[in-house]
Structure 1
Amino acid sequence: MASLTAVRDGLKARIETITGVTGYARAVGEVNVPAVVVTPGQIVFDDAMQRGSDLLTFTLVLLVTLGDSDLAQQQLDEYLAGSGDRSIKAAVEGDQTLGGVADWTDVKGVQAYGLIEYAGRQYVGARFPVEVNVDGT
């Protein structure tokens, strides 16, 4: 199996293809917004053909400034788009192998649009559930 670290780093690298967005492969205490923090979720071993593949799930936590709510909403709309140069989905799926560590990557949608607390601070943001399929051997 590709290491969890390699997959997280691959997701961070894809996020940082969006100009001006800071990606974080691990939880941090303070972020530079706009930011996306990669957080791991469920891991399903032996998803196909015994050790053929494993399915890793992540949540990409998008955070933008809370200061000007109109500007924050406008920024979010661009990141939430299904395509375009500011789209989280398009950036991540622009290299579904995440630099060769995954078989495929799929941004499943958007959840929790609105106020998000992260590291004790309030932001405007959203969460993107992501599935990554990796070689199980």
Structure 2
Amino acid sequence: MDLEAVVAEVRTALGTIDDLTTPEWGVQRIHSPAAVIALPERIAYDQAYGRGSDLIEGLPVLVLVARPTSPEARREIAEYAAGSGPRSVKAAVEAHQYTAADEVTVVSAEFDVVTYAGNDYLAAQFNLEIVGRGA
């Protein structure tokens, strides 16, 4: 499975959420709200489902919202963390028709205040599990 191809498709899926920017990894400036896709915890080769499929575990998608201590930021991040709805990360990611992977699932979300490019943001880290054909 090609990690960069999968990430490109996840970015496309996230791009369907109105007003959510999806910059490439490593950019030094973002416009909030933004979704940044980092590197996965690990890739397990030829293991998933006993069929020789690869498994990407813990691909983090960080949704960053400005003014981390404001009530508006909490309400905004809650919309992204919802299980369904027009701003739901889970709904957008799982509804996409992938060609670079067989299955993409949002398995959890964690919350924190993080600093990115010198600015503080309220963050929701969505952890994705991805199964796809091995090489």
- Which amino acid is the alignment partner of residue 34 of structure 1? P
Structure 1 CA distance for aligned equivalents of residues 47 and 24 of structure 2:
24
Count of residues in correspondence between the two structures: 133
In 1: Cα distance, 2:68 partner to 2:107 partner:
29
Aligned ranges for residues 99-110 of structure 1 at < 5 Å? 100-110=99-109
Letter in 2 for 1:26: W
Distance in 1 separating the partners of 2:24 and 2:50: 29
For the residues of structure 1 that align with 2:133 and 2:62, how far apart are their CA atoms?
25
Question: Structure 2 matches for 1:24-103, cutoff 5 A?
Answer: 24-41=23-40, 42-48=42-48, 52-57=52-57, 58-66=59-67, 69-95=70-96, 97-98=97-98, 100-103=99-102
CA drift at 1:49: 6.9
Residue 125 of structure 1 is aligned with which of 105, 123, 126? Answer: 123
8 Å contact from structure 2 (residues 69, 122) kept in 1 = no
Structure 1: unaligned runs, 5 residues or longer? none
Query: What's the Cα RMSD here?
Result: 1.8
Unmatched 5+ stretches in structure 2: none
TM-score normalised by structure 2 residue count: 0.90
